[in-house]
Amino acid sequence: MCFSKVGLGLMFFLLVVETEFTLAKRQLPLGNTSVQCHSERWGQLCPNGCLLCNIKFLVTGGARKDIAVASAHLKSTALEFIQEDACIKRNDAIVKRHKAQTWPVLFRFKEKLEHVNNETSLCLSLSDSLQDSHTQIESELETLKTGFRRINGRLERIERNLAKKSATCSTGATTTQSSCTLPVLSGRDCAEIYRAGGRRSGVYVIKPQGAVQPIRVICDMDDNGGGWTVIQRRSDGSLNFDRTWREYKRGFKQENCQEIREMWIGNENLHRLTHQANQQLKVVLTSSRNETRYARYRHFQIDNEASGYRMVAVDGYRSDTSGDVGDAFREFPNVSGQRRQLDHLGARFTTRDVDNDDYVTNCAAGGNGGWWYRSCAAVNLNGEWQDSNPQPHQQNTRGLNGHEGIIWRPWTDRHGSLKATMMKIRPTRY
């Protein structure tokens, strides 16, 4: 029991000491607590009960004060927290609003950035391609420069050759066959030469369309505006016209450097000339009495060798104002009922070695020369040249009412064989 009182007292003592120590540490005044503890309940327990009462009031009063201070502090802190929370909420709303406004911009910026990246990649790719193209262009340019230098060298050689030939060209060319100087101008026919400035009648070189070799011809640049290509000429009998098919095909002539006195242009050349453009024909006839007449045909054309150089067109006859010589090619009227036999339209060419006429024998035989015979002819300008004035013959082996020599029967039946003839053509649209 004592032991119990001593232990309990010691415990109270330690509690008081600790309390006083705590109060001293907090600097809490003890105050007058005895009044509060003097009651019947606490007085019966004094002095220990009074001590406990005092400790209770001291501790309770300090705790309340601390609680009040802490509560005030907590209220102040809570108010600050509330204010901070309101501020945070306001800032959060602002942030959300700015985020809502900024996000589309950022998204568009991202898309643009991706587009820029794609364009950059494309530019880099194009840059590589351009670099390759540039390299290729430089290579091709170098090739072109090499080709240009080669061409330039050739042009220089051509210029030197032209310079060497300029003196010759200024006066005319010299033919290898006869060493004759020819005019510079040339063309497909004499009409082209006239258009190019050739105004002097004489010998020129032409090359009909499709011809392999050029030929020397007579160009009449004086008659009725010029441009006439002479296809046949008889003047003095210096040339034999009794020729073969091959010779009439290629042509023949008697010439010197100044003139071509007698000639046949050649059936092949005649065919080419009358097919490269529609041609008109003019025939110049000179009698043994030196009387000259003309006959003109609006259209004249000769077919190719396969057809026998058929005369496919000789129409539009017009007489000369000096006197009518008659249309010997088409309208010879002297043989009644036999006009068809002497109409030369459609006639094929006949020579002494190729018989294409309609007569029982070869109309070209016996020196009559090659021509477009029927049975046999109302006109033959390639017949045998006669230096006298033979009289017309009666019926003979050469055809109906035919006679030897160079004939245009509507006129020569009265005047005999012709002394000179010329056939010349010019484009109808001249």
Per-residue model confidence as pLDDT tens digits over 313-328: 999 998 766 567 888 9
Which DSSP string corresponds to 229-273? Answer: EEEEEESSS-S-----HHHHHH-EEEE-SS-EEEEE--HHHHHHH
Per-residue model confidence as pLDDT tens digits over 10-45: 555 555 545 554 544 444 444 444 445 555 554 555
List the structure tokens of 86: 């309101």
Q: Give start and end residues of each alpha helix (H) in 262-346.
A: 267-276
Q: Can the peptide bond before residue 123 be classed as cis, meaning omega within 30 degrees of 0?
A: no
E strand intervals along 85-131:
none
- Beta-bridge mates of residue 279: 300, 427
Using only C-alpha atoms, what is the Rg of the chain? 69
- Give the separation between CA 133 and CA 128, rounded to whole angstroms: 9
List the structure tokens of 221: 């640049």
Is the model's pTM score more than 0.95? no
Per-residue model confidence as pLDDT tens digits over 220-275: 999 999 999 999 999 999 999 999 999 999 999 988 877 899 999 999 999 999 99
Per-residue model confidence as pLDDT tens digits over 284-342: 999 988 999 999 999 999 999 999 999 999 999 987 665 678 889 987 655 455 555 67
Q: Show the domains of the chain with their CATH numbers.
A: 2-94 (no CATH), 187-427 (3.90.215.10)
- Give the separation between CA 273 and CA 219, rounded to whole angstroms: 14
Using CA of residue 250, residue 256, residue 258, residue 264, what is the dihedral sign?
negative
- Give the separation between CA 207 and CA 213, rounded to whole angstroms: 7
Asked whether the predicted pLDDT for residue 188 surpasses 90, the reply is yes
Instruction: Compare 75 and 155 and report the one with higher pLDDT.
Output: 155
- Beta-bridge mates of residue 299: 315
Report yes or no: 343 and 330 within 8 Å, Cβ to Cβ.
yes
